[in-house]
Chain A
């Protein structure tokens, strides 16, 4: 549980308290970063960079909610930067294989789950035609289950823009699923 007291304790320059904050914050940041980038090492780098930025700007944080939105904001922006930099990663696994995997997992029932590398593959498959913004909105809304208000605060987009991006993302993904599954 991240509360404002912990953040205030960190402001004094206490590394131990900050370590605790990192421990609590990293899973949230990693989840979004990994889903955005699909690469474990890159996601971990993003998490580290995010925490360093947090350390430098601790004075600006006024509340726990504000802190959370801020984390996501930094992570998403850093993911955008990363996505702009890198070239299209060559597929090591063919689309056919990925669809087969999805199909198998679905047929296993509700208890089925994907490994991290499988998750990366599936998300990449489903979102490869999406723009970075559409991908971010899809992940934050449908996978991280955030509200439109929260997404608006994180991405800086208006609610109508979020709705539009979400609509396009869902449509694209649905069409793919319909076609290949």
Chain B
């Protein structure tokens, strides 16, 4: 047993004494410097950027502050949204007025359109036509305008008996000419 240990120790001593020696330290230095310089500007830049962006992770107090700040931000967000959602939920239970509004509605528009149709004497062709809403609105506006002007004209004629007589005479003449034709 002792002899075993002795042999082991002797071999070990031999190996310890025979420490590998680096003969070309200068070569290695040159090689290393060369490789460092050849790493490339972009790699260095990348490392620098990375260290700049994430260097704070190694600074304890900065890291803790940023973590606290981001947790606080998330909590504030959650709290705000919860409050808003609660208010909106409460709002959804508030009374909603249905039906026609005071301003012009589609139902009113439809009524007007019917009036126009009636006044036009239902002279549309039997096959259907497509009119855009814009065109219909323009038509209604001009009908309204015409009605206003017609009323004004009527009032003017009513207020002037001579004018009224002249117009009536003209109308009768026109009708006679039509009949003759």
Contacts and interface: CB of A to CB of B under 8 A. Distances in A.
Direct contact of A and B (CB under 8 A): yes
B25 A27 contact: yes
29 contacts: A15-B33, A19-B29, A22-B28, A22-B29, A23-B29, A26-B22, A26-B25, A27-B22, A31-B19, A35-B20, A44-B24, A47-B22, A47-B28, A48-B28, A48-B35, A51-B32, A52-B32, A105-B14, A112-B17, A114-B14, A114-B18, A116-B20, A116-B21, A118-B18, A119-B20, A122-B15, A173-B11, A177-B4, A181-B7
A78 interface: no
B29 to A, nearest CB: 5
Interface of A: 15, 18-19, 22-23, 26-27, 30-31, 34-35, 43-44, 47-48, 51-52, 55-56, 59-60, 102, 105-106, 110, 112-116, 118-119, 122-123, 126, 142-143, 145, 170, 173-174, 177-178, 181
A10 to B, nearest CB: 11
A159 B32 CA distance: 34
Contact of A181 (B11, B20, B33): B11
Q: Summarize A's interface: helix, strand, loop or mixed.
A: helix
A48 B32 contact: yes
Nearest to A173: B8
Contact of A142 (B12, B18, B19): B12
Given A15-B33, A47-B28, A27 B4 contact: no
B43 to A, nearest CB: 9
Interface string B38-78: 01000000010001000100100000000000000000000
Contacts of A47: 22, 28
B8 A123 contact: no
Nearest to B19: A31
A143 B16 contact: yes
Nearest to A107: B10
A174 B21 CA distance: 26
Contact of A23 (B11, B13, B17, B25): B25
Contacts of A34: 20
B27 to A, nearest CB: 8
A91 B71 CA distance: 62
Given A26-B22, A174-B4, A113 B14 contact: yes
Contacts of B37: 15
B107 interface: no
